[in-house]
Structure 1
Amino acid sequence: MSSKASKEELVSWEGWQQHRDPDAGNDLVERYLPLVDYVIQRFMINLPKTVDKDDVRSLAYEGLLDAFDKFDIERGLKFETYASWRIKGAIIDGLRHSDWLPRSVRDKVKKIEQAYALLEQQNNQSVTDAEVSMYLGITVKELNKTVSEAALSAMISIDEAVNDDSESTGKHQLIQSGKEGSPEHHLSEQLIKEALMRAIERLPEKERIVIALSYYEELKLTEIAEVLGVSVSRISQLHSKAILRLQAAVLSVNEAY
Protein backbone atom coordinates (compact mmCIF):
# COMPACT_ATOMS: atom_id res chain seq x y z
CA MET A 1 0.00 0.00 0.00
CA SER A 2 1.30 3.41 -0.90
CA SER A 3 2.22 5.59 2.06
CA LYS A 4 0.10 8.33 0.41
CA ALA A 5 -3.16 6.39 0.73
CA SER A 6 -6.01 8.62 1.87
CA LYS A 7 -8.07 8.06 5.00
CA GLU A 8 -11.05 7.20 2.82
CA GLU A 9 -9.06 4.53 0.99
CA LEU A 10 -7.79 3.03 4.24
CA VAL A 11 -11.38 2.89 5.51
CA SER A 12 -12.38 1.06 2.33
CA TRP A 13 -9.57 -1.43 2.77
CA GLU A 14 -10.58 -2.08 6.36
CA GLY A 15 -14.23 -2.46 5.40
CA TRP A 16 -13.42 -4.91 2.61
CA GLN A 17 -10.75 -7.05 4.27
CA GLN A 18 -12.36 -7.28 7.67
CA HIS A 19 -16.06 -7.25 6.86
CA ARG A 20 -16.35 -7.83 3.10
CA ASP A 21 -18.44 -4.68 2.91
CA PRO A 22 -19.79 -4.45 -0.69
CA ASP A 23 -19.64 -0.65 -0.68
CA ALA A 24 -16.00 -0.73 0.39
CA GLY A 25 -15.26 -3.28 -2.31
CA ASN A 26 -16.95 -1.17 -4.98
CA ASP A 27 -14.96 1.87 -3.87
CA LEU A 28 -11.67 -0.03 -4.25
CA VAL A 29 -12.67 -1.36 -7.67
CA GLU A 30 -13.45 2.16 -8.88
CA ARG A 31 -10.11 3.43 -7.54
CA TYR A 32 -8.07 0.78 -9.34
CA LEU A 33 -9.96 0.28 -12.61
CA PRO A 34 -7.49 2.67 -14.34
CA LEU A 35 -4.73 0.22 -13.36
CA VAL A 36 -6.66 -2.59 -15.04
CA ASP A 37 -7.03 -0.48 -18.19
CA TYR A 38 -3.30 0.31 -18.18
CA VAL A 39 -2.29 -3.36 -17.95
CA ILE A 40 -4.81 -4.35 -20.64
CA GLN A 41 -3.46 -1.72 -23.04
CA ARG A 42 0.07 -3.07 -22.64
CA PHE A 43 -1.13 -6.62 -23.32
CA MET A 44 -3.50 -5.95 -26.22
CA ILE A 45 -0.78 -4.39 -28.35
CA ASN A 46 0.99 -7.77 -28.31
CA LEU A 47 -2.05 -9.96 -28.90
CA PRO A 48 -3.31 -11.30 -32.22
CA LYS A 49 -6.60 -9.83 -33.40
CA THR A 50 -8.32 -13.15 -32.76
CA VAL A 51 -8.10 -12.57 -29.00
CA ASP A 52 -11.24 -10.85 -27.72
CA LYS A 53 -10.53 -7.74 -25.65
CA ASP A 54 -13.60 -8.42 -23.48
CA ASP A 55 -12.12 -11.81 -22.56
CA VAL A 56 -8.84 -10.14 -21.59
CA ARG A 57 -10.73 -7.53 -19.55
CA SER A 58 -12.62 -10.28 -17.72
CA LEU A 59 -9.35 -12.04 -16.87
CA ALA A 60 -7.79 -8.76 -15.75
CA TYR A 61 -10.76 -8.01 -13.52
CA GLU A 62 -10.43 -11.44 -11.91
CA GLY A 63 -6.78 -10.65 -11.26
CA LEU A 64 -7.70 -7.38 -9.55
CA LEU A 65 -10.24 -9.12 -7.31
CA ASP A 66 -7.64 -11.77 -6.48
CA ALA A 67 -5.22 -8.99 -5.50
CA PHE A 68 -7.85 -7.44 -3.22
CA ASP A 69 -8.30 -10.78 -1.44
CA LYS A 70 -4.60 -11.60 -1.03
CA PHE A 71 -3.04 -8.21 -0.42
CA ASP A 72 -1.75 -7.70 3.13
CA ILE A 73 -2.31 -4.06 3.97
CA GLU A 74 -0.31 -4.37 7.20
CA ARG A 75 2.96 -4.98 5.33
CA GLY A 76 3.12 -1.47 3.95
CA LEU A 77 3.67 -2.58 0.36
CA LYS A 78 2.50 -0.63 -2.68
CA PHE A 79 -0.76 -2.15 -3.85
CA GLU A 80 -0.41 -0.92 -7.43
CA THR A 81 2.74 -2.98 -7.94
CA TYR A 82 1.28 -6.09 -6.31
CA ALA A 83 -2.00 -5.79 -8.22
CA SER A 84 -0.23 -5.27 -11.55
CA TRP A 85 1.50 -8.63 -11.22
CA ARG A 86 -1.73 -10.34 -10.13
CA ILE A 87 -3.59 -8.86 -13.11
CA LYS A 88 -0.82 -9.87 -15.53
CA GLY A 89 -0.72 -13.35 -14.02
CA ALA A 90 -4.47 -13.78 -14.41
CA ILE A 91 -4.34 -12.73 -18.07
CA ILE A 92 -1.38 -14.99 -18.83
CA ASP A 93 -2.96 -17.99 -17.10
CA GLY A 94 -6.23 -17.44 -18.92
CA LEU A 95 -4.56 -17.14 -22.32
CA ARG A 96 -2.40 -20.18 -21.66
CA HIS A 97 -5.42 -22.29 -20.73
CA SER A 98 -7.26 -21.15 -23.85
CA ASP A 99 -4.29 -22.35 -25.93
CA TRP A 100 -4.55 -19.30 -28.21
CA LEU A 101 -1.17 -19.94 -29.84
CA PRO A 102 -0.94 -22.96 -32.19
CA ARG A 103 1.60 -25.62 -31.20
CA SER A 104 3.37 -25.19 -34.53
CA VAL A 105 4.07 -21.54 -33.70
CA ARG A 106 5.15 -22.43 -30.17
CA ASP A 107 7.65 -24.90 -31.61
CA LYS A 108 9.01 -22.28 -33.99
CA VAL A 109 9.39 -19.76 -31.17
CA LYS A 110 11.26 -22.31 -29.07
CA LYS A 111 13.66 -22.98 -31.94
CA ILE A 112 14.24 -19.25 -32.42
CA GLU A 113 14.89 -18.81 -28.71
CA GLN A 114 17.38 -21.70 -28.74
CA ALA A 115 19.08 -20.23 -31.81
CA TYR A 116 19.55 -16.89 -30.06
CA ALA A 117 20.95 -18.67 -27.00
CA LEU A 118 23.44 -20.75 -29.00
CA LEU A 119 24.61 -18.10 -31.47
CA GLU A 120 24.93 -15.27 -28.97
CA GLN A 121 26.79 -17.52 -26.56
CA GLN A 122 29.18 -18.55 -29.33
CA ASN A 123 29.73 -15.02 -30.62
CA ASN A 124 29.47 -13.24 -27.25
CA GLN A 125 27.47 -10.52 -28.98
CA SER A 126 24.06 -9.91 -30.45
CA VAL A 127 23.34 -11.77 -33.66
CA THR A 128 21.45 -10.38 -36.61
CA ASP A 129 18.15 -11.55 -38.04
CA ALA A 130 20.04 -12.81 -41.07
CA GLU A 131 22.37 -14.94 -38.91
CA VAL A 132 19.48 -16.47 -36.95
CA SER A 133 17.52 -17.10 -40.14
CA MET A 134 20.50 -18.74 -41.84
CA TYR A 135 21.09 -20.98 -38.82
CA LEU A 136 17.45 -22.09 -38.80
CA GLY A 137 17.22 -22.44 -42.57
CA ILE A 138 14.39 -19.94 -42.94
CA THR A 139 14.06 -16.49 -44.47
CA VAL A 140 14.22 -13.25 -42.48
CA LYS A 141 10.60 -12.67 -43.51
CA GLU A 142 9.60 -16.02 -41.95
CA LEU A 143 11.53 -15.16 -38.79
CA ASN A 144 9.79 -11.81 -38.41
CA LYS A 145 6.39 -13.38 -39.13
CA THR A 146 6.87 -15.94 -36.36
CA VAL A 147 8.07 -13.30 -33.90
CA SER A 148 5.02 -11.15 -34.70
CA GLU A 149 2.61 -14.08 -34.33
CA ALA A 150 4.11 -15.03 -30.99
CA ALA A 151 4.64 -11.61 -29.47
CA LEU A 152 2.91 -12.45 -26.19
CA SER A 153 4.56 -15.86 -26.05
CA ALA A 154 7.90 -14.09 -25.69
CA MET A 155 6.49 -11.97 -22.90
CA ILE A 156 5.03 -14.99 -21.11
CA SER A 157 8.31 -16.87 -21.22
CA ILE A 158 10.13 -14.23 -19.20
CA ASP A 159 7.21 -12.68 -17.30
CA GLU A 160 5.41 -15.86 -16.29
CA ALA A 161 3.38 -15.63 -13.12
CA VAL A 162 4.29 -17.54 -9.99
CA ASN A 163 1.16 -18.98 -8.42
CA ASP A 164 1.74 -18.27 -4.76
CA ASP A 165 0.80 -15.60 -2.25
CA SER A 166 4.08 -13.70 -2.27
CA GLU A 167 4.20 -10.05 -3.19
CA SER A 168 6.46 -10.78 -6.19
CA THR A 169 5.01 -12.71 -9.08
CA GLY A 170 7.45 -12.38 -11.95
CA LYS A 171 10.24 -14.89 -12.26
CA HIS A 172 12.66 -12.13 -13.17
CA GLN A 173 11.89 -10.75 -9.70
CA LEU A 174 11.87 -14.01 -7.78
CA ILE A 175 13.42 -17.41 -8.45
CA GLN A 176 11.22 -19.95 -6.73
CA SER A 177 13.10 -22.95 -5.42
CA GLY A 178 13.08 -25.44 -2.63
CA LYS A 179 16.63 -24.31 -2.02
CA GLU A 180 15.68 -20.69 -1.48
CA GLY A 181 18.14 -19.14 0.93
CA SER A 182 20.80 -21.71 0.13
CA PRO A 183 24.17 -20.78 -1.43
CA GLU A 184 23.11 -22.60 -4.62
CA HIS A 185 19.96 -20.50 -4.87
CA HIS A 186 21.80 -17.22 -4.39
CA LEU A 187 24.46 -18.23 -6.90
CA SER A 188 21.83 -19.14 -9.50
CA GLU A 189 19.97 -15.88 -8.89
CA GLN A 190 23.16 -13.84 -9.19
CA LEU A 191 24.23 -15.61 -12.39
CA ILE A 192 20.84 -14.93 -13.98
CA LYS A 193 20.95 -11.25 -13.00
CA GLU A 194 24.44 -10.88 -14.43
CA ALA A 195 23.46 -12.70 -17.63
CA LEU A 196 20.44 -10.43 -18.08
CA MET A 197 22.54 -7.30 -17.49
CA ARG A 198 25.07 -8.43 -20.11
CA ALA A 199 22.28 -9.38 -22.51
CA ILE A 200 20.61 -5.97 -22.16
CA GLU A 201 23.93 -4.18 -22.72
CA ARG A 202 24.54 -6.02 -26.00
CA LEU A 203 21.03 -5.72 -27.40
CA PRO A 204 20.88 -3.95 -30.76
CA GLU A 205 20.36 -0.24 -30.15
CA LYS A 206 16.67 -0.06 -31.13
CA GLU A 207 15.77 -3.13 -29.06
CA ARG A 208 17.65 -1.71 -26.06
CA ILE A 209 15.78 1.58 -26.39
CA VAL A 210 12.42 -0.21 -26.57
CA ILE A 211 13.23 -2.24 -23.44
CA ALA A 212 14.39 0.87 -21.57
CA LEU A 213 11.29 2.88 -22.51
CA SER A 214 8.96 -0.03 -21.80
CA TYR A 215 10.31 -1.26 -18.46
CA TYR A 216 12.23 1.69 -17.03
CA GLU A 217 10.10 4.57 -18.28
CA GLU A 218 6.94 2.39 -18.30
CA LEU A 219 5.70 3.76 -21.62
CA LYS A 220 3.05 1.87 -23.58
CA LEU A 221 4.15 0.51 -26.94
CA THR A 222 1.94 3.06 -28.68
CA GLU A 223 3.84 5.83 -26.87
CA ILE A 224 7.20 4.28 -27.75
CA ALA A 225 6.11 4.16 -31.40
CA GLU A 226 5.45 7.91 -31.26
CA VAL A 227 8.83 8.58 -29.63
CA LEU A 228 10.75 6.56 -32.23
CA GLY A 229 8.57 7.56 -35.17
CA VAL A 230 7.78 4.03 -36.33
CA SER A 231 4.67 1.83 -36.41
CA VAL A 232 3.31 0.11 -33.33
CA SER A 233 3.73 -3.27 -35.05
CA ARG A 234 7.43 -2.52 -35.54
CA ILE A 235 7.82 -1.64 -31.84
CA SER A 236 5.99 -4.84 -30.90
CA GLN A 237 8.37 -6.81 -33.11
CA LEU A 238 11.47 -5.15 -31.60
CA HIS A 239 10.10 -5.76 -28.10
CA SER A 240 9.46 -9.44 -28.84
CA LYS A 241 12.93 -9.98 -30.30
CA ALA A 242 14.53 -8.31 -27.30
CA ILE A 243 12.56 -10.49 -24.89
CA LEU A 244 13.55 -13.61 -26.85
CA ARG A 245 17.21 -12.59 -26.57
CA LEU A 246 16.88 -12.00 -22.82
CA GLN A 247 15.08 -15.30 -22.33
CA ALA A 248 17.85 -16.97 -24.31
CA ALA A 249 20.36 -15.51 -21.84
CA VAL A 250 18.43 -17.02 -18.94
CA LEU A 251 18.18 -20.34 -20.82
CA SER A 252 21.96 -20.43 -21.25
CA VAL A 253 22.52 -19.90 -17.52
CA ASN A 254 19.98 -22.57 -16.57
CA GLU A 255 21.55 -25.10 -18.93
CA ALA A 256 25.05 -24.33 -17.67
CA TYR A 257 24.00 -24.35 -14.03
Structure 2
Amino acid sequence: MSRSQPIYNSNGQLDAKTMLEQYSSLVRRLAHQMIARLPANVELDDLIQVGMIGLTDAMSRFDIKQGVQFETFATQRIRGAMLDELRGGDWMSRSGRKHQRDIEGAVHKLEQRLGRAPHESEIAAEMGLSLPDYQDLLNRVRGTQLVYLEDMSGDEGDSDYLDRHVADTDADPLARLNDRRMREALVEAIKGLPEREQYVMSMYYEHDMNLKEIAAVLGVTESRVCQLHSQSIARLRAKLRAW
Protein backbone atom coordinates (compact mmCIF):
# COMPACT_ATOMS: atom_id res chain seq x y z
CA MET A 1 0.00 0.00 0.00
CA SER A 2 1.35 3.43 -0.95
CA ARG A 3 2.25 5.69 1.94
CA SER A 4 0.73 8.61 0.04
CA GLN A 5 -2.76 7.11 -0.04
CA PRO A 6 -5.02 8.22 2.83
CA ILE A 7 -6.96 5.48 4.62
CA TYR A 8 -10.72 5.84 5.11
CA ASN A 9 -13.12 4.00 7.38
CA SER A 10 -16.56 2.61 6.47
CA ASN A 11 -18.10 6.07 6.96
CA GLY A 12 -15.87 7.62 4.33
CA GLN A 13 -13.79 9.50 6.91
CA LEU A 14 -10.05 9.30 7.49
CA ASP A 15 -9.21 6.48 9.85
CA ALA A 16 -7.39 8.52 12.51
CA LYS A 17 -5.82 5.63 14.42
CA THR A 18 -4.42 3.92 11.34
CA MET A 19 -3.25 7.19 9.81
CA LEU A 20 -1.41 8.21 12.96
CA GLU A 21 0.34 4.85 13.07
CA GLN A 22 1.21 4.90 9.38
CA TYR A 23 2.51 8.45 9.22
CA SER A 24 4.22 8.72 12.60
CA SER A 25 7.45 7.68 10.90
CA LEU A 26 7.08 10.70 8.61
CA VAL A 27 6.90 12.94 11.68
CA ARG A 28 10.03 11.35 13.15
CA ARG A 29 11.91 11.67 9.86
CA LEU A 30 11.04 15.35 9.51
CA ALA A 31 12.00 15.98 13.15
CA HIS A 32 15.40 14.33 12.68
CA GLN A 33 16.04 16.33 9.50
CA MET A 34 15.16 19.57 11.23
CA ILE A 35 16.97 19.05 14.52
CA ALA A 36 20.24 18.36 12.72
CA ARG A 37 20.24 22.05 11.80
CA LEU A 38 19.33 23.43 15.21
CA PRO A 39 21.13 24.14 18.52
CA ALA A 40 21.47 21.48 21.18
CA ASN A 41 18.84 23.04 23.45
CA VAL A 42 16.09 21.96 21.03
CA GLU A 43 14.75 18.55 22.11
CA LEU A 44 13.92 15.93 19.48
CA ASP A 45 10.96 14.63 21.50
CA ASP A 46 9.47 18.13 21.59
CA LEU A 47 9.64 18.42 17.82
CA ILE A 48 8.08 14.98 17.39
CA GLN A 49 5.24 15.83 19.77
CA VAL A 50 4.50 19.08 17.94
CA GLY A 51 4.82 17.26 14.63
CA MET A 52 2.17 14.74 15.67
CA ILE A 53 -0.14 17.65 16.39
CA GLY A 54 0.61 18.93 12.90
CA LEU A 55 -0.20 15.50 11.48
CA THR A 56 -3.53 15.46 13.31
CA ASP A 57 -4.27 18.92 11.95
CA ALA A 58 -3.43 17.72 8.42
CA MET A 59 -5.86 14.82 8.80
CA SER A 60 -8.67 17.18 9.79
CA ARG A 61 -7.99 19.59 6.93
CA PHE A 62 -7.15 17.21 4.08
CA ASP A 63 -9.44 17.24 1.06
CA ILE A 64 -8.66 14.69 -1.62
CA LYS A 65 -10.56 16.83 -4.14
CA GLN A 66 -7.70 19.32 -4.06
CA GLY A 67 -5.61 16.85 -6.05
CA VAL A 68 -2.73 16.81 -3.59
CA GLN A 69 -1.28 13.63 -2.12
CA PHE A 70 -1.83 13.32 1.59
CA GLU A 71 1.86 12.86 2.40
CA THR A 72 2.73 16.09 0.57
CA PHE A 73 -0.05 17.95 2.39
CA ALA A 74 0.86 16.43 5.76
CA THR A 75 4.54 17.23 5.33
CA GLN A 76 3.70 20.92 4.95
CA ARG A 77 1.45 20.94 8.02
CA ILE A 78 3.94 18.99 10.16
CA ARG A 79 6.89 21.18 9.22
CA GLY A 80 4.79 24.29 9.72
CA ALA A 81 3.81 23.18 13.22
CA MET A 82 7.47 22.57 14.10
CA LEU A 83 8.54 25.96 12.76
CA ASP A 84 5.81 27.70 14.73
CA GLU A 85 6.95 25.95 17.89
CA LEU A 86 10.57 26.93 17.30
CA ARG A 87 9.67 30.54 16.68
CA GLY A 88 7.56 30.67 19.81
CA GLY A 89 10.32 29.07 21.87
CA ASP A 90 12.97 31.64 20.87
CA TRP A 91 15.26 28.72 19.95
CA MET A 92 18.31 30.82 19.28
CA SER A 93 18.81 34.04 21.21
CA ARG A 94 20.09 37.25 19.69
CA SER A 95 23.16 37.03 21.95
CA GLY A 96 23.79 33.51 20.70
CA ARG A 97 23.79 34.70 17.10
CA LYS A 98 26.17 37.51 18.04
CA HIS A 99 28.62 35.08 19.66
CA GLN A 100 28.43 32.89 16.57
CA ARG A 101 29.23 35.82 14.29
CA ASP A 102 32.01 37.07 16.59
CA ILE A 103 33.78 33.72 16.31
CA GLU A 104 33.34 33.65 12.53
CA GLY A 105 34.67 37.20 12.27
CA ALA A 106 37.77 36.37 14.31
CA VAL A 107 38.43 33.26 12.23
CA HIS A 108 38.08 35.21 8.99
CA LYS A 109 40.45 37.99 10.12
CA LEU A 110 43.08 35.50 11.25
CA GLU A 111 42.88 33.45 8.08
CA GLN A 112 43.40 36.61 6.02
CA ARG A 113 46.30 37.66 8.21
CA LEU A 114 48.01 34.29 8.69
CA GLY A 115 47.21 32.61 5.38
CA ARG A 116 46.23 29.41 7.20
CA ALA A 117 43.65 28.00 9.58
CA PRO A 118 44.22 29.68 12.97
CA HIS A 119 44.76 27.67 16.15
CA GLU A 120 42.26 27.80 19.00
CA SER A 121 44.59 29.87 21.13
CA GLU A 122 44.96 32.39 18.30
CA ILE A 123 41.20 32.71 17.87
CA ALA A 124 40.79 33.17 21.62
CA ALA A 125 43.45 35.88 21.67
CA GLU A 126 41.86 37.66 18.70
CA MET A 127 38.58 37.76 20.62
CA GLY A 128 40.29 38.94 23.82
CA LEU A 129 39.41 35.72 25.66
CA SER A 130 41.35 33.13 27.58
CA LEU A 131 41.44 29.70 25.98
CA PRO A 132 39.05 28.18 28.57
CA ASP A 133 36.59 31.05 28.09
CA TYR A 134 36.74 30.64 24.31
CA GLN A 135 36.12 26.89 24.60
CA ASP A 136 33.18 27.57 26.91
CA LEU A 137 31.80 29.92 24.24
CA LEU A 138 32.15 27.14 21.64
CA ASN A 139 30.02 24.91 23.85
CA ARG A 140 27.38 27.62 24.17
CA VAL A 141 27.02 28.10 20.40
CA ARG A 142 26.90 24.34 19.87
CA GLY A 143 24.42 23.32 17.21
CA THR A 144 25.14 26.16 14.80
CA GLN A 145 24.75 24.81 11.28
CA LEU A 146 25.24 25.91 7.73
CA VAL A 147 23.21 24.08 5.17
CA TYR A 148 21.69 26.32 2.54
CA LEU A 149 22.99 29.14 0.38
CA GLU A 150 20.44 31.56 1.85
CA ASP A 151 22.18 31.28 5.22
CA MET A 152 25.27 32.94 3.79
CA SER A 153 23.66 36.39 3.65
CA GLY A 154 21.47 38.68 5.73
CA ASP A 155 21.86 40.68 8.89
CA GLU A 156 21.66 39.49 12.46
CA GLY A 157 18.10 39.26 13.65
CA ASP A 158 16.55 38.71 10.21
CA SER A 159 12.92 37.72 10.58
CA ASP A 160 13.48 34.81 8.21
CA TYR A 161 16.59 33.50 10.00
CA LEU A 162 14.82 30.38 11.18
CA ASP A 163 13.27 29.69 7.79
CA ARG A 164 16.67 29.97 6.13
CA HIS A 165 18.03 27.31 8.50
CA VAL A 166 15.31 24.69 8.34
CA ALA A 167 13.04 25.49 5.39
CA ASP A 168 12.36 22.73 2.89
CA THR A 169 13.86 23.61 -0.51
CA ASP A 170 13.24 20.28 -2.25
CA ALA A 171 10.44 21.68 -4.37
CA ASP A 172 12.47 24.70 -5.56
CA PRO A 173 14.72 23.95 -8.59
CA LEU A 174 16.83 27.09 -8.02
CA ALA A 175 17.31 26.14 -4.38
CA ARG A 176 18.40 22.64 -5.42
CA LEU A 177 20.93 24.15 -7.83
CA ASN A 178 22.21 26.52 -5.18
CA ASP A 179 22.39 23.64 -2.71
CA ARG A 180 24.56 21.60 -5.10
CA ARG A 181 26.86 24.55 -5.62
CA MET A 182 27.00 25.09 -1.88
CA ARG A 183 27.85 21.45 -1.29
CA GLU A 184 30.70 21.63 -3.81
CA ALA A 185 32.05 24.73 -2.08
CA LEU A 186 31.57 23.05 1.30
CA VAL A 187 33.61 20.01 0.24
CA GLU A 188 36.48 22.29 -0.72
CA ALA A 189 36.19 24.25 2.51
CA ILE A 190 36.25 21.08 4.61
CA LYS A 191 39.55 20.10 2.97
CA GLY A 192 41.06 23.22 4.53
CA LEU A 193 40.07 22.31 8.09
CA PRO A 194 42.67 21.04 10.58
CA GLU A 195 42.89 17.25 10.40
CA ARG A 196 41.09 16.51 13.68
CA GLU A 197 38.21 18.78 12.74
CA GLN A 198 37.94 17.05 9.37
CA TYR A 199 37.55 13.76 11.25
CA VAL A 200 34.81 15.22 13.44
CA MET A 201 32.86 16.55 10.45
CA SER A 202 33.21 13.28 8.57
CA MET A 203 32.10 11.12 11.49
CA TYR A 204 29.23 13.43 12.42
CA TYR A 205 27.77 14.13 8.98
CA GLU A 206 28.92 11.30 6.71
CA HIS A 207 28.78 8.41 9.16
CA ASP A 208 25.96 9.70 11.41
CA MET A 209 27.97 9.06 14.57
CA ASN A 210 26.83 10.71 17.78
CA LEU A 211 29.04 12.79 20.06
CA LYS A 212 29.74 9.93 22.45
CA GLU A 213 30.89 7.68 19.61
CA ILE A 214 33.12 10.37 18.12
CA ALA A 215 34.61 11.10 21.53
CA ALA A 216 35.47 7.42 21.95
CA VAL A 217 37.21 7.29 18.58
CA LEU A 218 39.24 10.45 19.22
CA GLY A 219 39.93 9.65 22.87
CA VAL A 220 38.49 12.95 24.13
CA THR A 221 35.40 14.05 26.07
CA GLU A 222 32.02 14.73 24.50
CA SER A 223 32.42 18.36 25.49
CA ARG A 224 35.65 18.52 23.49
CA VAL A 225 33.88 17.07 20.45
CA CYS A 226 31.22 19.78 20.81
CA GLN A 227 33.95 22.42 20.82
CA LEU A 228 35.64 20.97 17.75
CA HIS A 229 32.33 20.77 15.92
CA SER A 230 31.38 24.37 16.72
CA GLN A 231 34.82 25.59 15.74
CA SER A 232 34.66 23.68 12.46
CA ILE A 233 31.30 25.23 11.66
CA ALA A 234 32.67 28.70 12.40
CA ARG A 235 35.60 28.11 10.07
CA LEU A 236 33.33 26.84 7.30
CA ARG A 237 30.84 29.67 7.66
CA ALA A 238 33.68 32.20 7.53
CA LYS A 239 34.90 30.68 4.26
CA LEU A 240 31.49 30.27 2.68
CA ARG A 241 30.32 33.79 3.48
CA ALA A 242 32.94 34.98 1.00
CA TRP A 243 31.97 32.34 -1.55
* Same fold at TM > 0.5: yes
Deviations 1:148-198 (A, max 9, x none): 111123468688122x5x4369xxxx864xxx98xxxx7x974x4454222
Residue 25 (str. 1) matches residue 19 (str. 2): yes
Instruction: State how far apart, in whole Å, the 2-side matches of 1:109 and 1:38 are.
Output: 23
Q: Which residue of 2 aligns with 1:4?
A: none
Q: Which residue of 2 aligns with 1:234?
A: 224
Query: Is 1:155–1:240's contact at 8 Å kept on the other side of the alignment?
Result: no
Instruction: State how far apart, in whole Å, the 1-side matches of 2:211 and 2:83 are.
Output: 18
Query: Is 1:126–1:203's contact at 8 Å kept on the other side of the alignment?
Result: yes
Q: Please tell me the root mean square deviation across aligned C-alpha atoms, in Å.
A: 4.3
Deviations 1:45-97 (A, max 9, x none): x524xx6665344345457779998xx879xx9xxxxx7xx76x865764354
Residue pairs, 1:75-224, within 5 angstroms: 94-154=85-145, 160-162=165-167, 166-167=169-170, 176=175, 190=181, 192-224=182-214
Query: Is 1:214–1:220's contact at 8 Å kept on the other side of the alignment?
Result: yes
Residue identity matched to 1:111: D
After superposition, the Cα gap between the structure-2 partners of 1:155 and 1:225, relative to the gap in structure 1 and judged at 3 Å, is farther
Deviations 1:109-142 (A, max 9, x none): 2111122233224444321111112222222222
Residue 14 (str. 1) matches residue 8 (str. 2): no
Higher fraction of helix: 1
Structure 2: which 5+ residue stretches go unaligned?
63-67, 153-163
Residue pairs, 1:33-44, within 5 angstroms: 35=29
**1:148 alignment partner, SS class:** helix
Q: Which residue of 2 aligns with 1:80?
A: none
Instruction: State how far apart, in whole Å, the 2-side matches of 1:126 and 1:116 are.
Output: 8
Residue identity matched to 1:47: A
Residue identity matched to 1:239: H
Report percent identity of matched pairs: 26
Residue identity matched to 1:131: E
